Amino acid sequence: MNSVIAALSHTSLKEVLQRMFPKVWPPAEISDKWWFVLAAIGTVAIVSYIYRENMLFRIAEHVLIGVAFGYSFTVEYFNVGQNNFVNPVFKEGNLWPIIPAILGLMVVLRIVPKLSWVSRYPMAMFVGLGMGMMLPRYLQSTVFAQVYGTTRVDFVGSISQGWPWGILATVGGVVLIAGTLCALTYFYFSMEHRGFVGGTAKVGIIFLMIGFGASFGYTVQARISLFAARVLFILRDWLGIIT
């Protein structure tokens, strides 16, 4: 909801129109204040959904989708299509870009039922390439580096710093390692969660709940921030009530 509200900012719509119609847009008589009015109407229209679904919300929603598609298509064409294919092939006589263009067209053939099998070849290439690039790097950054980060707590160094920060850092290190092990035990399903394993898993649940609580708190903060930014726009930029 909030993302839709924010996306209707005057900046994006104005720039989309400028990009799509650079020679005729914006008409001279449209001053900046009308962009603020348009953005404010869009914001109010989207927020009106809170009360109930209505025609104004529907119109704003469709405008947003249309604008986003138009903007993306325009930027894609000028940045990718023109720079990487049209200009090299037709202006510079470089024929190499025809190969990736053919692969791209093969992907599009997916929409033709009789020729949809053709799309499997470029897709196989993309998947293979993606996996090859991703697997080793993600293993390194999300598994090995994280395990290293969890286990390299400098207990001796922390304790030597004394009370309070040194001791607190040591306790923090113990909690980090214990929390990680307990949470991992909760997701270990090859043993019945009874006795020691069951107790450890229960402690793991507490750590997981604390983690979820922190995430929830941040989520609330995020949603409030996005909405507050739109309220700030209406009060300051549009109505001029606050400075």
Burial string for 72-96 (b: 16+ CB within 10 Å, else e) reads eeeeeeeeeeeeebeebeeeeeeee
| d(C-alpha 236, C-alpha 109), whole Å | 50
Contacts of 182 (CB under 8 A, 6+ apart): 200, 201, 203, 204, 206, 207
Please say which residue, 134 or 209, places its beta carbon nearer to other proteins.
134
Please say which residue, 141 or 160, places its beta carbon nearer to other proteins.
141
Site for other proteins, rule CB under 8 A:
2-4, 6-9, 11-12, 15, 19, 50-51, 68, 71-72, 75-76, 79-80, 130, 133-134, 137-138, 140-142, 145-146, 148-150, 176, 211, 214-215, 218-222, 224-232, 235-236, 241-242
User: Which alpha helices (DSSP H) does 8-112 contain, by range?
Assistant: 10-20, 32-47, 55-76, 98-108
Please say which residue, 19 or 110, places its beta carbon nearer to other proteins.
19
Please say which residue, 10 or 200, places its beta carbon nearer to other proteins.
10
